[in-house]
Structure 1
Amino acid sequence: METMLRSVAMSGYFDVTRRLGLNPAALAQQAGIDAAALANSDDRVPAAACCRLLELTAEKAACPTFALLMAETRQKFGTGVVNVLLAHKRTLREVLLAAVEYRHLLNEALAVYVENAGETVTIREELVVEPGTPTKQAIELALGVLARHSSALLADHWKPRAVHFTHAAHADLTFHRRFFGCPLEFGSDFNGFVCAAADLDYPNPAADPELVRYAESLVAPLDPMGTDSTALEVRKAIYLLLPLEQATVEPVARHLRLSVRTMQRQLELADTSFSALVEEVRRELAVRYMSNPRYPIGRVAALLGYAQQGSFTNWFALRFGMTPRDWRNSVGRRGK
């Protein structure tokens, strides 16, 4: 089943592309997207194709900050009942938790997880699309939009301690520094923000509990998760929780607000299983982490849930036909 997103997630694409002197409809067609569907915020378009479109446009425009230019157009939460619901929650923490709850109505490819650690909070975002899909621009768009929404909600009280990206840094980070206004960490373990826990609980001046309750009553009957979407949501949760050593049945079911029994039954109906999805995600993340020479192999093993490097080496050799060290040497030679 192809992962889709609502075209509203690409809001700003046409305006920014034209501003850079390019033809957005022609580029959309080149990426395999119906330009009319992309222009209609209520239509759905393939998530992987949108990722490719962002990369293609940034390359054609010679503009590495293309996604952040799109994010700059997002002054406030968009229209639609879910966005109204989010915009009027009492705190940013409640906004993020609601975004997780209604994730299947916002962007099927985007996974969000709020990790509490004492006085700090880590907001993790992950894009789960077909393996091999370039996501550098798409991740920067997702984090840029989160920053814009958080700033609109909290004004000067949005002061993240750092923003993290799993991809490598751009040659010139001047625009990124101005846009995010906080330290930048590239080549990180995750994509997301580290914030003070207190900032997430600062009151939203625009909060309206009555409006939120009304919006929730309208959202409730919309697009309930079916068996196919449950498999996708489990996969996304594993992406987020595996590096935290929490990608077991109970934490994943809890994250999805499902009972373990219900989750497993729906996975069976989708002709898959929890263990099969963990294996798929572990393999994909292994390629991501092993491709980053900054990560020692022992660190990769830990991020993939192995306490012992030897166990990871055995698993890797079975899946890839060579040891992690040989694989990394082979990839390094091909990259030269």
Structure 2
Amino acid sequence: METMLRSIAMSGYFDTARRLGLNPIDLVQRLGIDPAALANPDERVPAAACCRLLELTAEMASCPSFALRMAETRQKFGTGVINVLLAHKRTLRDALLAAAEFRHLLNEALAVYIEDVGETVTIREELVVDPGTPTRQAIELAVGVLARHSSALLGNHWKPRSVHFTHCGPADQTFHRRFFACPLEFGSDFNGFVCAASELDYPNPAADPELVRYAESLAKPLNASNASNADSIALEVRKAIYLLLPLEQGTVEYAARHLRLSVRTLQRRLASADTSFSELVEEVRGELAVRYMSNARYPIGRVAALLGYNQQGSFTNWFNARFGMTPRDWRNRQGK
């Protein structure tokens, strides 16, 4: 089943492309996307095609900050039931948890995870699309939109300590520094933000519990209908593994907790989709191995840890069995 997203996630694409002197209709059609569907915020379009569209547009415009320029157009939460719900939640933490709960009505490819460590919080975002799909621009769009929405909710109280990306940074980071107004870390272990826990729990001055309850009453039936689709469970578990594996939490127990399911229910639903948790872990581990090993800044021992191996030797054995060569040999071949 192809992973989809609502066209509202690509809001700002047409205007941003035109400002940079491009013909967005031509580019959209070149990627096999219906321009009318992309312009309709309620339509659903293929996530992988949108990722490739963003990369192509950034390349054609010679603008590595293209996705952030799209995000800059998001002055506030948009219209629609889900955006009303998020905009009026009590805190940013509540809004992020609601975004995760209603993920089926937003962007099926996007996963969000909040990691609390004392007084510090890490907000992780991950895009799960077909292996080999370029996601640099799409990730920057997702993180950029999160920054804009967080600022809309908290105003001057949104002051992240740092923003992180797993990919390498552009040669000129001027736009990135101005957009985020906080330290940038490229080539990181994750995509997202590190901020003070107090920011996530600061009261939203626009919070309206009655409006939230009304929006939830409309959204929950739609969300349940999408979530009950048997084909979606494998994707949801894959997204959970992407988020949890680098945290040494890539177990069925942690995944079930993240998805608010019992272990038995999770396993039963995976079986109905003709897969299993162990099979999905193997798939995700292979995809992440290519991602991390492709970054020469990551020592092999670090890659092993990010993939859930305490011993580098165990990782080497697994890697050799999967890719037919040692991690060092694989990396040497990539460098040629």
TM-score > 0.5, shorter chain as reference = yes
Aligned to 1:148: 148
Once the two structures are superposed, residues 276-317 of structure 1 have per-residue CA deviations (whole angstroms, 9 ceiling, x without a partner) of 000000000000011111111111100000011110000000
- Structure 2: unaligned runs, 5 residues or longer: none
Whether the aligned pair in 1 keeps the contact of 2:102 and 2:223 (CA below 8 Å) is: no
* CA distance in 1 between partners of 2:23 and 2:79 (Å): 26
Aligned to 2:210: 210
Once the two structures are superposed, residues 10-45 of structure 1 have per-residue CA deviations (whole angstroms, 9 ceiling, x without a partner) of 000011111111111110011111111101111100
Matched, 1:231 2:234: yes
**After superposition, where does 1:280-291 map in structure 2 within 5 Å?**
280-291=283-294
The residue matched to 2:45 in structure 1 has which SS?
strand
The residue matched to 2:222 in structure 1 has which SS?
coil
Whether the aligned pair in 1 keeps the contact of 2:166 and 2:187 (CA below 8 Å) is: yes
Matched, 1:116 2:119: no
* CA distance in 1 between partners of 2:114 and 2:255 (Å): 13
For 2:326, which of 319, 323, 327 is the aligned residue?
A: 323
Aligned to 1:47: 47
Whether the aligned pair in 1 keeps the contact of 2:4 and 2:44 (CA below 8 Å) is: yes
* CA distance in 1 between partners of 2:95 and 2:250 (Å): 24
**After superposition, where does 1:291-330 map in structure 2 within 5 Å?**
291-330=294-333
State which drifts further: 220-229 or 105-114.
Answer: 220-229
Aligned to 1:103: 103
Paired residue type of 1:273 = S
Measured after TM superposition, the shift of residue 263 of structure 1 is: 1.0
**After superposition, where does 1:45-194 map in structure 2 within 5 Å?**
45-194=45-194
- Structure 1: unaligned runs, 5 residues or longer: none
Paired residue type of 2:284 = V
* CA distance in 2 between partners of 1:47 and 1:310 (Å): 37
The residue matched to 1:222 in structure 2 has which SS?
helix
The residue matched to 2:231 in structure 1 has which SS?
helix
Q: May I ask how many residue pairs the two structures share in their alignment?
A: 333
Once the two structures are superposed, residues 209-265 of structure 1 have per-residue CA deviations (whole angstroms, 9 ceiling, x without a partner) of 111111111111104212111110000000000000111011111111111111111
Paired residue type of 1:72 = E
Matched, 1:254 2:257: yes
* CA distance in 2 between partners of 1:321 and 1:24 (Å): 43
* CA distance in 1 between partners of 2:69 and 2:310 (Å): 42
Aligned to 1:36: 36
Once the two structures are superposed, residues 158-181 of structure 1 have per-residue CA deviations (whole angstroms, 9 ceiling, x without a partner) of 000000000001000011000000
Q: TM-score under structure 1 normalisation? A: 0.98
* CA distance in 2 between partners of 1:294 and 1:8 (Å): 35
* CA distance in 1 between partners of 2:83 and 2:236 (Å): 20
Paired residue type of 1:202 = Y
Once the two structures are superposed, residues 112-166 of structure 1 have per-residue CA deviations (whole angstroms, 9 ceiling, x without a partner) of 0000000100000000000111111100000000000000110110000000000
Runs of 4+ with >6 A deviation: none
Identity score, percent: 82
Measured after TM superposition, the shift of residue 266 of structure 1 is: 0.9
* CA distance in 2 between partners of 1:293 and 1:62 (Å): 25
Aligned to 1:23: 23
Once the two structures are superposed, residues 70-117 of structure 1 have per-residue CA deviations (whole angstroms, 9 ceiling, x without a partner) of 001101111111111100000001111111111111100000000000
Measured after TM superposition, the shift of residue 203 of structure 1 is: 0.5
Aligned to 2:199: 199
* CA distance in 1 between partners of 2:288 and 2:152 (Å): 33
Whether the aligned pair in 1 keeps the contact of 2:31 and 2:52 (CA below 8 Å) is: yes
Paired residue type of 2:315 = F
For 1:264, which of 259, 262, 267 is the aligned residue?
A: 267
* CA distance in 2 between partners of 1:246 and 1:144 (Å): 27
* CA distance in 2 between partners of 1:58 and 1:121 (Å): 31
Measured after TM superposition, the shift of residue 186 of structure 1 is: 0.2
Q: TM-score under structure 2 normalisation? A: 0.98
The residue matched to 1:227 in structure 2 has which SS?
coil
The residue matched to 2:160 in structure 1 has which SS?
coil
Paired residue type of 1:266 = R
* CA distance in 1 between partners of 2:308 and 2:56 (Å): 35
